[in-house]
A = this chain, B = another copy of it.
Amino acid sequence: MAQSVLLTGAAGRVGDAILGDLAAEYEWRLMDRDPPTEDYPGEFVVADITDDDAVREAMDGIDAVIHLAGDPRKTAPWDSVLTNNIDGTQTIFEAAVDAGVEKFAFASSNHAVGHYETEDRTPDMYRADDDYLLDGTELPRPGNLYGVSKAAGESLGRYYHDEYGIAVVNVRIGNLTKGHPPIDYERGQAMWLSYRDCAHLFDRCVKADYDYEIVYGISDNDRKYYSLERAKDVLGYEPQDNSAHHD
């Protein structure tokens, strides 16, 4: 029987990529703050992730969570990320461990490490011949308050894993665009994530065995300053796309 997966923020862009390829792969329970405006596979729950009762109800019978919900704007003000991204993520984790969920994939972000892109390193680090690589063992260096909120989500995951044993993977998502990589934007090409690689990566987050991981979510771009080693080795991620092949 297919696993039951709760997808929060289902109506967003990452949810769109995931459901585009994996609609038939799982028994989906989809959650979003706004009512659906199109057809979705599986049950659709309209609820805010900070609504503890609604979240607990939605967690019933769930095997794995893909937690995408939150304010996605890199310019989001503090009050919004505090509530939607930090408090919301804690609500989801708490309900997940109480419900006995086994796996939890958290949509973290490149913005959690945005300030590694210092004046000294850029734009060289965005280029294929530069060997600077972040691999997920480095401390966060958020580029904005949105990034601070994503780093906090990763810490919450570390705590819930260590305390309760739930498997947690944080995917620091790069620049997700449909069809082709960003044009005339070196940084975006370096951290490009295609829709199909995105869907495949989150599929691996549900199927693979792991304890606690921080991986980078990008395609196999020639330009690259995020290591794919953990995603490949631990999750079995096999990206198909490369921004260099679309120039």
Contact = CB atoms under 8 A, between A and B. Distances in A.
A60 interface: no
B137 A158 contact: no
Interface stretch (A100-108, A125-133, A139-147): A139-147
Contact of A159 (B90, B137, B148, B163): B148
Interface string A145-168: 101100110011011001100000
A146 to B, nearest CB: 10
A148 B141 contact: no
Interface residues of A, number: 26
Contact of A156 (B90, B139, B148, B159): B148
Interface string A65-92: 0000000000000100010001100100
A115 interface: yes
Contacts of A86: 82, 86, 152
Contacts of A155: 140, 142, 148, 151-152, 155
30 contacts: A78-B90, A82-B82, A82-B86, A82-B87, A82-B90, A86-B152, A90-B145, A115-B158, A115-B159, A115-B162, A139-B139, A139-B158, A139-B214, A140-B155, A140-B158, A141-B158, A142-B155, A142-B158, A142-B159, A144-B159, A144-B163, A145-B159, A147-B159, A148-B155, A148-B156, A148-B159, A151-B152, A152-B152, A152-B155, A155-B155
Interface of A: 78, 82, 86-87, 90, 94, 115, 137, 139-145, 147-148, 151-152, 155-156, 158-159, 162-163, 214
